[in-house]
């Protein structure tokens, strides 16, 4: 009887672990395809473009110019939704008089391909190359912003390139660290097929970095933001917000926009 109980207990432990291993692609990536809104819904003109990645995937992106803009924001969004879900953020940055360039990862929105960790990195490089080569924007006029999972994507790009500034919003240290928070009873490091090591990339970033996190974040613990700030090696700033993972920027919009504009426009250190 004891033998069968042990077998049942082991099975009950192994089954979720196996499911976690094979289903994690769906846990990490939540793409949607429908473009149900564009900046035109807010009366903001934009360019709809399709940069091509190094491995031949065409990704959909929006370039939103602002009058007399000195700086351009390259925005790496989180793991869910598509470009249509970024319209509120676009409107916010448009009011700050920054050009705004946001792209959908492969498999999201109208972008081709299927999402993968290396694929997302290639997508961000294609977005950077579009701004530098097609729009002729100097690297020192480009600000990289990564939100949530996009924090890893933007940090890697900042480590490879030489942007003016890097901003990580609601970002995690790595997929493994966030996995340990959610599934403490499983060997997440062994099971994880993805890394997205924001912390490791951030160590290599030389430009000034701002870490933004909400103490109320229910998706990525506030401690991740604190540890990322500690890790950042160059000039750095920390901004604490209140509110949920996706809503804190809008709940604290005055505080958020004032701090971001001050950080972006500050003289080079």
Active-site residue set: 148, 217, 245
CB of 142 within 8 A of CB of 74?
A: yes
Closest by CA to 124, choosing from 143, 107, 102, 140, is 102
Beta carbons within 8 Å of 4's beta carbon, 6+ residues apart: none
User: Tokens 């953020």 — which residue?
Assistant: 89
Q: What is the DSSP letter of 170?
A: S
Other C-beta atoms closer than 10 Å to the C-beta of 92 total 17
- Report helix, strand or coil for 11: helix
Extract the tokens encoding 256.
């958020």
Q: How far apart (Å, rounded) are the C-alpha atoms in residues 88 and 71?
A: 19
């Amino acid at each position: 009887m004891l033998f069968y109980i042990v077998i049942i207990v082991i099975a009950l432990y192994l089954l979720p672990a196996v499911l976690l291993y094979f289903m994690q692609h769906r846990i990490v990536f939540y793409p949607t395809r429908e473009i149900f809104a564009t900046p035109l819904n807010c009366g903001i003109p934009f360019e709809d473009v399709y940069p091509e990645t190094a491995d031949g995937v065409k990704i959909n992106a929006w370039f939103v110019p602002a009058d007399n803009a000195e700086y351009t924001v390259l925005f790496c969004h989180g793991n869910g939704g598509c470009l249509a879900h970024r319209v509120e953020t676009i409107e916010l940055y448009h009011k700050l008089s920054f050009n705004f360039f946001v792209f959908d990862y492969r498999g999201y929105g109208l972008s081709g391909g299927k999402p993968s960790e290396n694929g997302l990195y290639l997508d961000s490089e294609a977005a950077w190359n579009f701004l530098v080569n097609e729009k002729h924007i100097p690297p020192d006029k480009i600000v990289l912003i990564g939100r949530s999972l996009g924090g890893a994507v933007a940090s890697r790009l900042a480590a490879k390139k030489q942007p003016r500034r890097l901003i990580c919003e609601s970002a995690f240290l790595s997929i493994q660290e966030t996995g340990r928070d959610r599934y403490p009873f499983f060997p997440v490091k062994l099971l994880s097929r993805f890394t997205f090591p924001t912390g490791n990339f951030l160590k290599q970033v030389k430009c000034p970095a701002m870490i933004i996190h909400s103490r109320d974040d229910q998706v990525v613990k506030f401690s991740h933001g604190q540890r990322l700030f500690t890790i950042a090696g160059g000039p750095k700033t920390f901004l604490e917000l209140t509110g949920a993972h996706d809503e804190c920027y809008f709940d604290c919009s005055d505080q958020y926009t004032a701090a971001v504009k001050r950080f972006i426009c500050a003289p080079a250190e």
